[in-house]
Structure formats: C-alpha cells, structure tokens
Amino acid sequence: MSDFRIAFIGAGIMGRPMCLNLLAANFKLVVHSRTKSKAADVLKAGAVWADSPAAAAKNADVIITCVTDTPDVKKILLGESGVIDSARPGLICIDMSTISPFETQQMAKTLAQKGVVLIDAPVSGGQVGAEQAKLSIMAGGDKETVEKLKPVFEAMGKNITYCGTSGFGQITKLANQVMVIHTIMSLAEGLAFADSAGLDLNTTLAATSAGAAGSNSLKNLGPKVIAGDFAPAFMVDLQLKDLRLVLEYAEEINQPLPGVALVKELLSVLKAQGCGRDGTQALYKVIKQLGKK
C-alpha cells in the first residue's frame, strides 16, 4: 500500500471513477463532496467520508480537487472550513479541475505561505478516460513535487506531462480545449453537409474516419450524432466554461481566437435552447438548424 494518504474532493462524473482507481491502486482515501450520495460507491469501495475540505485535509499528505470551476476550487482550498484551515507544512494540493491559470497562480502563492504546495494538473480524456485510468494529465508547478506524485498520477492516467511552472498545466489544458472543440466543430459541419447533400451518414463516416479527417472525436462522437444520441461525454455547459477561460486568457496575451469565439456563440445557442446538459456533439443540431429555411 502506498505511503501517501490522499483526500479527494469532488465525486462527480470525473472524480468518482478517479477515486475508484486510486482505491484500486491501494491508496488510503478520504473523500468529500457537496452531495454525499454521489460518493456512495466510493465509500462502499473503502474510502472514508469527511464532512468538510478542512476535515479531509487534516491527516492527508495529498489533497486532490476535481470540481467544476474556479470559484469552487477557491472555496475548497481557501474558504471557510477549507483546506487552508487545517493545512500543515508539507501538504501537497493537486487541482485536477479546469480553471483560471491566473487564479491558480494566486492560490499557489497563498498556500505557499503556509508551506503547502499547489500543483495544477487538469486532465483530458473524459468520463471514459477516467473510468479506464487512461487520462492525459497536464501538470504545472514544482517539478520535483510532480515527479514525487507520479505513483498517484499513474493510478488515474497513462500520459503524465510536466508542462512548466505554476499555471502552465491549466494553460496547456486550455490549448487542448481549443483543439478539441475544433475537431467537434469539424465533424458537426461535415456530417451536416453530408446529410443535407443526401449522403448516407454511416457510409460517410466510414470513408472519412479512415482518411485525413479521422480523429478521436469523429470516431467516438460521429456514431452518436448519426444515432441522434446527444447524451454527454462532456457537457455543453462545461465546454462553455472552458471556452470562457480560453478567451479570457487569450485576451490577456493578445492572441485572437476567432474560431473559438464562433464555437462559443453556437454553444451558447444550444444552452439558450435548454441543451446545456447535452454532449458537445450537439453542435450538429445547431449547424443543421442554420440550414433550415
């Protein structure tokens, strides 16, 4: 059994399977979530419940957070009954959420005043990657600490990359989101074009997946679009949050991203139509709507 005592905060779509994989790797695990029922199977698998982030951090060597947005992480780490209340020198915090790089850097400085190290380590791979322990992990912060944490990361992912100083993991994840959303946009437009032209979509998918247009998004989401399955592997609402972070950071570094701005507007239409909890492949629906007379 590993020497690391881990506290995990967040038992959602991603956090729950990540917890289960840590337990499977024989880590001692304490868990906290806003909704205790979401952690039921994690507790059944051997984790111990904590009533607050501060309680979770009390005897932990490593705290892992995997929650929705920047304010959530800030509240967990620095808020009332937060990690900082019971943190002791030497504690390592790993934030595996996708949040603001600026806020990450500020939180790292605040925690450092108590001798706590913050590593930003957002992930890519979605729910399936989390369930199969095949996440791509992008780590920023102290390099020696990241190396020390490899056994923890390897219990959850297969590709662990050190990206640079504090905040660089988050910036790398935002670059990833730029690339991913464009592949989803490409399949949405390509399949909408094919459908409007009268092609058989299954035939089109087979032909394009095998050629230069092939991508993980086309392979995994293309069949869902054809089947009319818009259940989320990654929700529109979460993608909108990520693209907001992308555009905020892009503005600070004076890098125009016109394609991202367009996709964000199209996703906003989906949200306004009540489809915020659909998967991002629902971009197809918006593209098809644009073609209706």
Active site residues: 173
**How many contiguous H segments (helices) and E segments (strands) does the chain have?**
15, 9
Q: Can you tell me the distance from the alpha carbon of 94 to that of 169, in angstroms, rounded to the nearest whole number?
A: 11
Q: How many CA atoms lie within 13 A of 129 on its CB side?
A: 17
Question: Any idea which residue has 């507007």 for tokens?
Answer: 265
What 3-state class would DSSP assign to 179? helix
Strand 123-124 to 135-140 pairing? antiparallel
Contact 71, 101 (CB under 8 A): no
**Distances, alpha carbon 128 to alpha carbons 120, 133, 279, in Å:** 21, 8, 14
